[in-house]
Structure 1
Amino acid sequence: MIARRLEINGRVQGVFYRDWTVKSARELGLAGWVRNRLDGTVEAVVQGDADAVERMIALAQNGPPAANVDRIDVAETTVGAITGFEKRSTR
């Protein structure tokens, strides 16, 4: 089990990126959360099987149809006691 913190940059707010992330992560069996940030990025923590986490990162490069992802900054983070995948409030 691994966990990664993602900072998604580009046109990723107002294009259903968070909803798409929740759906995609749940389909991959991942735990974690996603939220908009005040600086215009989207932040997510994804946790689970290493292959599923890597698949999620690859999918996030495109996101939903209306998104335009410039880059994703990925950082290792601590595996926590997270269950399910949720959308959080902007921070």
Structure 2
Amino acid sequence: MIINRMISITGKVQGVFYRGSAREQCERLGIHGEVKNMPDGSVLLIAEGEEEAVHTLITWCYYGSPRAEVKEVVVKEGIVKGYKDFKVIRF
């Protein structure tokens, strides 16, 4: 079953290759969606894929890239949008 989760990650998660590492994890797990830095210093990851793969990604989010210092991970249920790939959004 395909699910969509909006995952907000706070802490030292910008400037530490968190988005790039998230993209690598998503590609490895077959997850589509997007990840972007937010103005408040957090990272927003929208993940769409098989339930088990998305739950594996959520567990990874608590650790992130090697230089990240994750404080909090908030997961909200989203609406499946049919993403075709995974993108790192840059402003």
Q: Give the TM bin, normalised by the shorter chain.
A: over 0.9
Matches within 5 A, 1:77-88: 77-88=78-89
What's the TM-score, normalizing by structure 1? 0.96
Q: What is the rounded CA distance, in whole Å, between the counterparts of 2:38 and 2:6 in structure 1? A: 13
SS at match of 1:54: helix
**Alpha-carbon offset, residue 78 of structure 1:** 0.2
Q: What is the rounded CA distance, in whole Å, between the counterparts of 1:45 and 1:25 in structure 2? A: 10
Q: What is the rounded CA distance, in whole Å, between the counterparts of 2:13 and 2:62 in structure 1? A: 11
Matches within 5 A, 1:1-91: 1-90=2-91
Q: What is the rounded CA distance, in whole Å, between the counterparts of 1:7 and 1:16 in structure 2? A: 16
Superposed CA RMSD: 0.6
Q: What is the rounded CA distance, in whole Å, between the counterparts of 1:42 and 1:29 in structure 2? A: 20
Structure 1 unaligned residues grouped into runs of 5+: none
Q: What is the rounded CA distance, in whole Å, between the counterparts of 1:89 and 1:74 in structure 2? A: 22
SS at match of 1:57: helix
Q: Percent identity?
A: 34
* 1:11-34 Cα distance to aligned partner (Å, 9 max, x none): 000000000000000000000000
**Post-superposition, which runs of at least 4 consecutive aligned residues in structure 1 deviate over 6 A?**
none
**Alpha-carbon offset, residue 89 of structure 1:** 1.9
The count of corresponding residues between Structure 1 and Structure 2 is 90
SS at match of 1:65: coil
What's the TM-score, normalizing by structure 2? 0.96
Structure 2 unaligned residues grouped into runs of 5+: none
